[in-house]
A and B are shown apart, each in its own frame.
Chain A
Amino acid sequence: MNVRRLQLDVDKAVHRPDLPELAEAIDGVPGVEAVNITVTDIDIETVGTEVTVEGDNIDLAALVQAIETAGAALHSIDEIVVGDRIIERVPRAR
């Protein structure tokens, strides 16, 4: 299965790891070509982020391991795109 894109719900503690550290950990995963980390919410102790990863043959197990080793928590996979090309979500007509 050629994983091309993933959108992940990742939470981390406010103080560590910082976003560059988390991005570096994800960028080192085999198959990852680009990473986008956007903070979606923040409180006193935690930061919620939306992580978008694109590439070719992304190693999903290694990606999960990298996020957890970096010190963040993967809460859910919200979108996954597999195949020879990336297709966008097509909303239902009705």
Chain B
Amino acid sequence: MAGPFPASAVPGIADGIVNALTLASSAVLHGSGLSVSLALRVAAVALVTSVFTVFVAEYGQLRAELARAERELSFSESGRLAAGRLGRQVAREAAVASAVASVASFAGALIPLAVGAATAPYSWSALVISVGALGALGGALATAVGGQRRRWIIAMMVMGVAVAAVGSALDIT
């Protein structure tokens, strides 16, 4: 992403919105409605899963870069770069990315669900906001990577609707 916006916030926001659609769509569509308590619980799930998955993904990728660098530099033993200053640096970067993604995921899940809870009996607004937010995210990504904005927006919104349909069918909450 262009500018200072951390790269890990983008998948974090998307993850939060998808969690909201998956876990809360059945409550909205099958009549039990949204509450602030449900919104907070879903957001907490999004935060916790994001912390783990993003850290593992980032740290694994950065450690793989170090391992590749060791091969290119003809180090006689593996793990030397990871054992030193660079190892601590990549662990720190992975932790920061994980923290940013988890906060973004929490916000991405909480905001639409909180709006849905506040606008009861029109809780379906949470789904509309979530799908719309995915579309907006798709537009922003298209701008950042030089893609076709309309195609990205439509694709993200279609995926959002599909995720909501899956969540409704699973009827988790």
Cβ of B85 within 8 Å of any chain A Cβ, yes or no, is: yes
Tell me the interface secondary structure of chain A in the complex: mixed
A73 to B81, CA, bound (A): 10
Closest CB in chain A relative to B78 CB, distance in Å: 13
Are the C-beta atoms of B81 and A71 separated by less than 8 Å? yes
Contacts of B81 on A, CB cut-off 8 Å? 71
Residues 30-45 of chain A, each 1 if its beta carbon lies under 8 Å from chain B, else 0: 0000000000000001
Interface-lining segment among A9-17, A53-61, A77-85, A86-94 = A9-17
Q: Using CB atoms, name the residue of chain B closest to A72.
A: B73
Residue of A with least CB distance to B84: A69
From A11, A17, A45, A46, contact of B86 by CB (8 A)? A17
B84–chain A nearest beta-carbon distance, Å: 5
Instruction: Point out which of B74, B85, B89 has the most chain A C-beta atoms below 10 A from its C-beta.
Output: B85
Instruction: List the one stretch of B3-11, B64-72, B134-142, B143-151 in contact with chain A.
Output: B64-72
Pairwise interchain contact A45-B80, C-beta atoms closer than 8 A: no
Q: Which residues from chain A contact B66 at a C-beta distance below 8 Å? A: 13
| B contact residues around A46 at 8 Å (CB) | 69, 72-73
A28 to chain B, nearest CB (A): 12
User: Does chain B have a CB within 8 A of A27?
Assistant: no
Q: A15-B65, A68-B80 are in contact. Are A45 and B72 (CB under 8 A)?
A: yes
Q: Check if B75 is an interface residue, CB within 8 A of chain A.
A: yes
Chain A, interface size category, equals: 10 to 19
Of all chain B residues, the one with the shortest Cβ separation from A15 is B65
Taken together as a complex, chains A and B put the C-alpha atoms of A61 and B74 apart, in Å, by 21
Q: How far, in Å, is B43 (CB) from chain A's closest CB?
A: 35
Seen from chain B, the residues whose Cβ lies within 8 Å of a Cβ on chain A are: 65-66, 68-69, 72-75, 80-81, 84-86, 89
Chain A residues with CB under 8 Å of chain B are 11-13, 15-17, 25, 45-46, 68-73
A-B pairs with beta carbons under 8 Å apart, 23 shown: A13-B65, A13-B68, A13-B69, A13-B73, A15-B69, A16-B69, A16-B86, A17-B85, A45-B68, A46-B69, A46-B73, A68-B80, A69-B84, A69-B85, A70-B84, A70-B85, A70-B86, A71-B69, A71-B85, A72-B73, A73-B73, A73-B74, A73-B75
